[in-house]
Amino acid sequence: MTTYTAPVVDMEFIFQDILDLYQYKNLPGFQDTSPDIVSAILREGAKVTEEVFHPLNQSGDAEGCQWQNGEVTTPQGFKQAYKTYVDGGWNGLTADPEYGGQGMPYVLGLAINEMLVSANHGLAAYPGLTQGAIEALQAHASDVLKQTYLPKLISGEWSGTMNLTEPQCGTDLNLMRTRATKSTDGSYRLTGTKIFISSGEHDITDNIIHLVIAKTEGGPDNLKGVSLFLVPKFLPNGAGAPGERNGVRCGSIEHKMGIHGNSTCEMIYEDAVGYLVGHEFKGMRAMFTMMNAARLGVSVQGICHSEASYQNAAIYARERLQGRSVSGVKNQDQAADPIIVHPDVRRMLMTSRAFNEGARALALWIALQVDLAEKLPDEKARQDAHDLLDLLTPVIKAFFTDKGYEYTNTNMQIFGGHGYVVETGMEQYVRDCRITQIYEGANGIHGLDLVGRKLPANGGRAAQLFLSTLQSFIETHRNNAAMAEFIGPLGQAMDHLQQATLWLMENAAKSPDHAAASSMEYLSLMAHTAMAYMWNRMALAALNGMDSGKGNQKFYRNKLITARFYMARMLPDILSHLERLKSGADCMMALDAEDF
Amino acid sequence: MTTYTAPVVDMEFIFQDILDLYQYKNLPGFQDTSPDIVSAILREGAKVTEEVFHPLNQSGDAEGCQWQNGEVTTPQGFKQAYKTYVDGGWNGLTADPEYGGQGMPYVLGLAINEMLVSANHGLAAYPGLTQGAIEALQAHASDVLKQTYLPKLISGEWSGTMNLTEPQCGTDLNLMRTRATKSTDGSYRLTGTKIFISSGEHDITDNIIHLVIAKTEGGPDNLKGVSLFLVPKFLPNGAGAPGERNGVRCGSIEHKMGIHGNSTCEMIYEDAVGYLVGHEFKGMRAMFTMMNAARLGVSVQGICHSEASYQNAAIYARERLQGRSVSGVKNQDQAADPIIVHPDVRRMLMTSRAFNEGARALALWIALQVDLAEKLPDEKARQDAHDLLDLLTPVIKAFFTDKGYEYTNTNMQIFGGHGYVVETGMEQYVRDCRITQIYEGANGIHGLDLVGRKLPANGGRAAQLFLSTLQSFIETHRNNAAMAEFIGPLGQAMDHLQQATLWLMENAAKSPDHAAASSMEYLSLMAHTAMAYMWNRMALAALNGMDSGKGNQKFYRNKLITARFYMARMLPDILSHLERLKSGADCMMALDAEDF
């Protein structure tokens, strides 16, 4: 049986001491973000995730979803837990107050999202997909669509989905076949098959609102010809309640490695009524509104499994007696010491811990840019926030989910053979986490997105901003002797990243294969540099906290210890990433395809 | 539906061109090892694994083992497949001819073992455990026990198990509680509970012979007080057939992440009749005979899943059309190019390929030392073989299973969302592979075994032999210009390993925590050095093959390409391993246990 405790104190520290969140009180949505209110929200979020979501995590995995005649039954307790969640107003936390939301900052929503997925990934994915639908409609839909659908989606009465993938096309949406034909009444009729649709069908809400990408007649047969449509499961009647059943049904659900509690559906559209969201042929723009938010959300999911499995591994490591400390017996009155005395067990725990805390800070810093890009009064400042967000979203989507999976595995490893047994719950974290490397763009795509689009965009403006932000931090604190042990490694990481950038600029021109071949190495270098920056900011805050003599001194001391671990044991990866990057594409393109 | 093709040509190359196996024709067991006979055995092995074992791999996973009233039913087809395997004489391939075995070299057995596990890990584990029992009995049992049990185990009529773990003790066998009491007839009565017993109960053979570690009365209550016992499920009657049921039963089977086709049993011993194997209180010595062989076997299992998943990923990457090559359209008459055109897909495939081929060569080189340590006429030469075997077994157990798991995951990644769906079979490889990092000693233990025991043993004799072997290779080929691109990186790896050794020598004395903290980094450095050495030997053989103008020229060319990939893209890991190692234990021991 696993346990979960939401990292409220760490989040409070990040909001207060790292993001300085309360400086933005003049921005819309930030008026209510006092430390007290944010703490209260975090503590209430902790309660619902620890007490309502988490107890259903293992049972939801064991039971899974059942499909019969197009209907999906979710695991026992899911419907009631979801009701508790929406009754608590959680579904509309960050949504537009005009349609019933609470309009709180996005960054706070992402913190709550971490708790939800850590507690129960399968269950969290039902409201999780709704968030993307809300954001897409808020940004692109007509007022009529907004008025009809947003209040129900925001209250959580109805849920949402996102339909891109088809059997023949995942990454390459040019190949999409789903067609939308315009009716005389201005609506459309959609026909086609979508697969891997998370929460596509279930018994948790009265209606399900599908956002579907399709091609319309007369448009180009590629990405430029796609539009976004809203297709409800039940067409709302005059009173706005679910009415006539629409021509969309769930053909089957997938048997998956993990997230068994969530339904992954094949959705069949047969002359289904749909409404255009935004403009014709602008489907990808609208879809990217959903996808960018979803990608930030998925990047955090990598943290979730590493965090939840870390907590359980730490408990096990303190309790399991096995062997003796190499530096002398620690547990005189027992036949063995707890395994947490062994340096290699601590290496595994510290690695996950340093990742979780560093990644959480980095994710929330990037999430704050979502708010700032929209709400800052100064245009240049909004552009800066947007640039950082665009640049770093693919970086953390791939890096956090790859590393999160790796460390979820090491946390399972701490249980030895017991970790391989279903009942301890550790292998479920591994199976559930595995999807995060795949969905919202398989991780390799994010490497390409980074080096092919985000890095060269606007003459490299975003990367320059990122590096100058770090450089100015270094310059500000260069004379702080206590920071030297952190600033040194950060400078080294920046140097490696700059060498890599130079290499890319020099070699991408020779062959585009070089950039693609080294894209994941480059992504890792940027991720480590960003992580080193966040650990610097956290170390600084901890040093300041210690100087003040106030607050949780043990917390500050432990932050410094973990910061040192990151520099000593994790950041050195940059050495091999740079070396590999510089070897280019030749060694991987030389083999003939038929010889693999 | 997955496919599997045994890597016969690669194995032939390793036996002929790397190990020069046929130089040992004068040694016992090697008389029949002509290239023709070895090829015939490999090709027959390929047949049984591809045609009999592999077709049951996915169905065995889906069906799993069923436990009812102490009886275990294996998945459909397993019993018949096992019969085909033993009828083909495979079970006794390397066993003592005096008891019905074929006495072939151990190294050849390990090659066949790779095929078996690649084809069907769950099924292969039934005869797999028998091999360890045969080896322990051959080495330690009395003639009476040998005559009664070895012929049946070698023919495969009966199977064997290995019983160490108990609920309260896995790694730390000092804590073992199972007791053996001597009877008046010289046999013992065993009482206790063992867990995680692979193939502990099943319906595949008429009898199951358990090798069980237990403590006897009057001995010390730690490792020095344990002895090894043979406990048959059915006591043989006068005719040597299964007779009276013994006091051992299967209390339950585990629900596991993977290897569902294999039964992992709780075995309850209640006054069970057992026979001492070897001497009282020498149980660990006897058990290590089984464990060392098992560890070599498990190290190869890391290759198995990486190889099998690689083969399927390569097929998928050639067939799946998605996106366009960054260097220009490759597939003019289709809407998209196969994903194998993308450098990042090739990066993943090449990484697995370079690991599989390098690790296979290294594993077989080490396996050859098993034969040489026993059979070489010269005592010093036998000692050398023994030293290399002892030193490198923990290295490859941990490194091959950690990397094998990592690359099995990347092969699954190539399938995108389809890899997460059970039906493609890719996620099963991941789940099955995961156990290899855990069983036969969780991988961290092997790091400790390396730096704590194997490295300092006999004044560091084994490590010196390993390094001098590599050094003499470098000196021999220093003037071969074509080898420069491979010898350079090998020299760099050796230099890093030597720096690490020096660091350990200087710092372990200051605190034993330093050595333990850096043990896995050290292990990785030694593994990469050994892999670089094998890739050097393979590159040399490929260059010689190309010079000769004979043989499979494409095969040689592809070996060189893959060797280059290893040097450029995988070996650079040594940079970060050394940097991490040098940071020592302080950063991981600083946090108080209760603060994790």
The predicted pLDDT at position B290 comes to 78
Cα Rg for chain B, rounded, in angstroms?
24
pLDDT digits (tens, 9 = 90+) for A234-251: 999 999 999 999 999 999
Residue B424 has pLDDT above 90, yes or no: yes
| Residue A304 to residue A8: CA distance in whole angstroms | 13
CA terminus-to-terminus distance, chain B: 44
Are B424 and B314 part of one and the same domain? yes
B506 and B579 in one domain?
A: yes
- Report yes or no: B217 and B232 within 8 Å, Cβ to Cβ: no
Tell me: the pLDDT tens digits for B382-406?
999 999 999 999 999 999 999 999 9
Res B289 pLDDT > 80: no
Mean pLDDT of B110-126: 98
Judged by CB atoms closer than 8 Å, whether chains meet at A588 and B569 is answered as yes
Six-digit token pair at B387? 């030293």
Residue range of the domain that includes A533: 460-589
Residue type, B55: P
Q: Which residues in chain A (335-354) have CB-CB distances under 8 A to chain B? A: 335-336, 338, 340-350, 353
Cα Rg of chain A, angstroms = 24
Which of A327, A343, A412 is the closest to B588 by Cβ?
A343
Domain assignment of residue A495, yes or no: yes
Residue B412 shares a structural domain with residue B520? no
Domain boundary residue, one of B448, B483, B500 = B448
Q: The domain that contains A428 carries what CATH number? A: 1.20.140.10
In a domain, A164, yes or no: no
Backbone angles phi, psi at B570, to 5 degrees: -115, -45
Indicate whether B292 pLDDT > 90.
no
Picking from B419, B448, B477, the residue at the C-terminal end of a domain is B448
Are B494 and B438 in the same domain? no
Provide the pLDDT confidence category of residue A490 given band limits of 50, 70 and 90. very high
The answer as to whether B521 is a domain residue is yes
Catalytic residues of B: 440
CB A569 within 8 A of CB A347: yes
Cα gap B393→B377, rounded to integer Å = 23
Does B551 map to a domain?
yes
Is residue A290 domain-shared with residue A433, that is, in the same domain?
A: yes
At B143 the pLDDT is 97
Render pLDDT for B581-590 as a digit per residue (tens, 0 to 9): 999 999 999 9
User: Taking CB atoms and an 8 Å cutoff, what residues of chain A touch B515?
Assistant: 326
How many domains are contained in chain B?
2
The reply to whether A127 falls in a domain is: no
Q: What is the pLDDT of residue A356?
A: 98
Is B409 found in the same domain as B509?
no
| DSSP H or E segment with residue A79 | helix A78-87
Helix (H, G, I), strand (E, B) or coil at B160: strand
First to last CA, chain A: 44
Q: Do A420 and B321 lie within an 8 Å CB cutoff?
A: no
Helix, strand and coil content of chain B, in percent to the nearest 5, comes to 60, 15, 25
Taking contacts as CB-CB distances below 8 angstroms, the residues of chain B near A595 are 554, 558
Do A573 and A468 share a domain, yes or no? yes
**Inside any domain, residue B343:** yes
Q: What does the pLDDT read at residue A313?
A: 98
Which B residues 532-551 touch A at CB under 8 Å?
A: none
Do A575 and A426 fall into the same domain?
no
- Show which of A448, A471, A486 is a domain's final residue: A448
Residue B281 located in a structural domain: no
Per-residue burial over B191-212, b = 16 or more CB atoms within 10 Å of its CB, e = otherwise: bbbbbbbbbbbbebbebbbbbb
Q: Residue A178 domain-assigned?
A: no
Cβ count near B324 (within 10 Å): 17
Answer yes or no: do A405 and A484 share one domain. Answer: no
Two tokens, residue B241 = 């057939």
Contact yes or no for A422 and B257 at CB 8 A:
yes
Residues A435 and A305 in one domain: yes
pLDDT for the residue B8 = 98
pLDDT at A341: 97
CB atoms within 10 A of CB B497: 25
**Is B319 an 8 Å CB contact of chain A?**
no
At residue A256, does pLDDT exceed 90?
yes
Using a CB cutoff of 8 Å and minimum separation of 24, what contacts does A323-330 make? A323/B171, A323/B172, A326/B452, A326/B512, A326/B513, A326/B515, A326/B516, A327/B511, A327/B512, A327/B513
Does residue A113 contact residue A125 with C-beta atoms inside 8 Å?
no
Q: What is the pLDDT of residues A414-463, one digit of tens each?
A: 999 999 999 999 999 999 999 999 999 999 999 999 999 999 999 999 99
For all residues of chain B together, what is the average pLDDT?
Answer: 96
Reported as type and span, the H/E element at residue B73 is strand B71-73
* Structure confidence at residue A289 (pLDDT): 76
DSSP B515-540: HHHTHHHHHHHHHHHHHHHHHHHHHH
> Which pLDDT score is estimated for B503?
97
Share of chain B above pLDDT 70, in %: 100
Scanning every residue of chain B, which has its alpha carbon at the shortest distance from the alpha carbon of A196?
B417
B399 with B463, same domain? no
Contact A317 B596 (CB under 8 A): yes
- Quote the pLDDT of residue A285: 85
Instruction: Identify the weakest region by mean pLDDT among A74-88, B153-167, B286-300.
Output: B286-300
Q: Which of A440, A475, A506, A521 is catalytic?
A: A440
Interface test with B, best of A528, A575, A581, A583 (most B CBs within 10 A): A575
Rounded to 5 degrees, φ, ψ at A71 are -100, 145
Considering only CB atoms, which chain A residues are within 8 Å of B165?
417
> Active site includes A266?
no
**pLDDT value for B509:** 86
How far apart are the C-alpha atoms of A281 and A295, rounded to whole Å? 23
CB-neighbour burial class of residue B438 (10 A; exposed 0-12, middle 13-18, buried 19+):
buried
Which ranges of B252-282 would DSSP assign to H, the alpha helix?
Answer: none
Q: Average the pLDDT over A66-70 and give the result.
A: 97
Closest CA to B436 of B391, B396, B405: B405
Q: Are residues A378 and A521 in the same domain?
A: no
Token pair, residue B27, equals 């040694």
Query: What pLDDT, on the 0 to 100 scale, is given for residue A290?
Result: 78
